[in-house]
Amino acid sequence: MIEVSQLVKKYGDFTALHGISFSAKKGEIIGLLGPNGAGKTTTMKILSAFMPSTSGTTKVAGFDVFDDPMEVKKRVGYLPETPPLYTDFRVKEYLEFVAGIKHLAGSRLKERYEFVIEHCGLRDRQQSVINNLSKGFKQRVGIAQAIIHDPEVVILDEPTVGLDPVQIVEIRNLIKNLGSNHTVILSTHILPEVTMTCNHVVMINRGKVLADGSVESLTQGKGESLEEAYLRIITQDAHVVETANKGDS
Amino acid sequence: MFFHNVMTLWKKELRSYLYTPVAAFFIGIYTSLLYGFFYIFLQKYQSYTQARSIGVASNITIDQLAEGVYNNMHFFMVFLLPFFTFRLFTEESRQNTLVLLMTSPIRSWELVLAKFKASLTVLLVMLLVTSIFPLYLYLYSEPGGGPDMGIILSTYLGLFLVGCAYMAMGLFFSSITESVLVALILSFIGNLFFAFMVNMFRSEDGGLMDSFFGYTGFQMHVSNFLKGTIELKAIVYFLSFCGFFLFLSNRSIESRSWRS
């Protein structure tokens, strides 16, 4: 469903991604982990065909994001870190507009609209102006727009930020449900969440993949929690860089 | 699909115009100013008719008087139209919605066209609001003294075309910056430049440079339209002016994702 190979992204002199490779099958929920500035958002922007990579290939649902961006865009739902909301609009108007630009119409639109309203818990907020919604509800509207067209791949950049514990559980269940017939990529800093939802973890730091596998394979089956594994892997990486720098000077 | 995409985006832009007070506020200002000018115009017209009725010779026609009103209208457009374009793309950047649009199966030029079309809808509303003036003159002027409908039509065609040009330029300026203020100021400068400043470079000697600046500026074309002269080259000039700025806007939006 997703194949990323040797992805490099340079912003001027700064290299954000140094050849990232990973892949995901249909029905997998991938947790993209890493410290701030590791390249998670950059990877997601490339996967959603928002921006091109400097080199390397990315295939989503069998289409290359560079050669066939339109086909990729039809099959991807993307929630960026800041939900892309028209704050003057009412929830219903906004979601219907998004459905329109995703080419939904008629009974299909109604059906999908009902689905996201139900599953994102927006039933009572359909007529609210988005600007007046709380952060958590804005986030739900953001998730709703990412899944309204029933995309094969759902990309969520920190989907549970700003939600209260009850909402987090709801959204987590929603993501789990999505995972049954979609491929979901999500990034988060809340590691227990990854243990609970994701069946595949890709850990990146400074634009490199440090670990790629199931949660069990990363925790080495030693009863280590994901948090401990994360700290171990990130510290190891920092140590490697330190010694490499010493070697240079 | 092209038609569907542009329609969906166009409807969204119209809704944004309705929901933000800016547009309604400036249409209000524009209308009240113009009605004020129209009132002054009617008084002038009345005094001329009175003068004529007591035998004082006056060769000023109703069309020449109306030209004054429509000149004012052009002048207002220079200052007011930027308020209808400055948010078109800057707001998409500010709300992060450009990401939504650019990751949806729509093409950037469909987006640019839809935004341009929405701004032209506002322009048409502005012109329609004033269409009551010629209608009033037509209905209430003395027999044979009404306005020349040919001149009125040419005037409206000219104002629409020059309005399109300002809108296209404003759209472009909103696409190159994320700041509404910068977009607004650049649009003012651009409008003033093409409306009036280009004329300052004219040497009035009829030479090559003189006619170049004469044709580049909008003043000459607009006053021709207001006098009832429809020139094909003026129409072509305004349309290619729009095309040029729409092309640049599209480029600017496309390059956003490459740069970010």
Each domain of chain A, given as residue ranges in start order, spans 2-82+152-248
Tell me which of A12-16, B9-13, B52-56, B180-184 is least confident.
Answer: B52-56
Which residue on chain A is closest to B9 by alpha carbon?
A: A101
> What is residue B260's predicted lDDT score, i.e. its pLDDT?
54
Backbone angles phi, psi at A203, to 5 degrees: -105, 125
Which residue on chain A is closest to B15 by alpha carbon?
A: A89
Backbone angles phi, psi at A26, to 5 degrees: -60, 135
Interatomic CA distance for residues B144 and B155, integer angstroms = 20
Which residue type is seen at B106? I
Q: What is the mean pLDDT of residues B69-73?
A: 85
Tell me, yes or no, if B95 comes closer than 8 A to chain A by beta carbon: yes
Residue B204 lies in a domain: yes
Interatomic CA distance for residues B70 and B79, integer angstroms = 15
In chain A, residues 30-49 whose CB comes closer than 8 Å to chain B: 45, 48-49
> What is residue B144's predicted lDDT score, i.e. its pLDDT?
67
Tell me the helix, strand and coil percentages in chain B, rounded to 5.
Answer: 80, 0, 20
Q: What residues contact A38, with CB distance under 8 A and at least 6 apart? A: A204, A205, A206, A207
Q: Which residues span the domain enclosing B140?
A: 2-52+62-259
Greater pLDDT, A108 or A164 = A108
* Confidence tier at B219 by pLDDT (50, 70, 90): confident
> What is residue B2's predicted lDDT score, i.e. its pLDDT?
80
Residue B57 lies in a domain: no
In chain B, residues 4-23 whose CB comes closer than 8 Å to chain A: 4-5, 8-9, 11-12, 15-16, 19-20
A164: left (phi over 0), alpha (psi -120 to 50) or beta: beta
Structure tokens at B131: 């269409």
CB contact under 8 A, A85 and B258: no
Question: Would you say A26 and A1 are in contact if contact means Cβ atoms under 8 Å apart?
Answer: yes
Q: pLDDT digit string (tens) for B19-60?
A: 888 878 888 888 888 888 888 888 887 787 777 777 766 666
Question: Would you say B21 and A113 are in contact if contact means Cβ atoms under 8 Å apart?
Answer: no
Q: What percent of chain A has pLDDT over 70?
A: 98
CB burial of A28-60 (b: ≥16 within 10 Å; e: otherwise) equals bbbbbbbbeebbbbbbbbbbbbbbebeebebbb
> What is residue A108's predicted lDDT score, i.e. its pLDDT?
93
Greater pLDDT, B197 or A21 = A21
Q: What is the mean pLDDT of residues A16-31?
A: 90
Residue B85: Cβ within 10 Å count: 27
The CATH fold assigned to A2-82+152-248 is: Rossmann fold (3.40.50)
As for how many domains chain B has, the answer is 1
* Nearest-CA distance A180 → chain B (Å): 24
* Confidence tier at A221 by pLDDT (50, 70, 90): low
> What is residue A248's predicted lDDT score, i.e. its pLDDT?
60
CB contact under 8 A, A51 and B260: yes
Contacts 24+ apart (CB under 8 A), B107-110: B107/A70, B107/B5, B108/B250, B108/B253, B108/B254, B109/B246, B109/B250, B110/B2, B110/B5, B110/B6, B110/B9
> What is residue A247's predicted lDDT score, i.e. its pLDDT?
63
Tell me, yes or no, if B65 comes closer than 8 A to chain A by beta carbon: no
Q: What percent of chain A has pLDDT over 90?
A: 45
Residue B68 lies in a domain: yes
> What is residue A219's predicted lDDT score, i.e. its pLDDT?
78
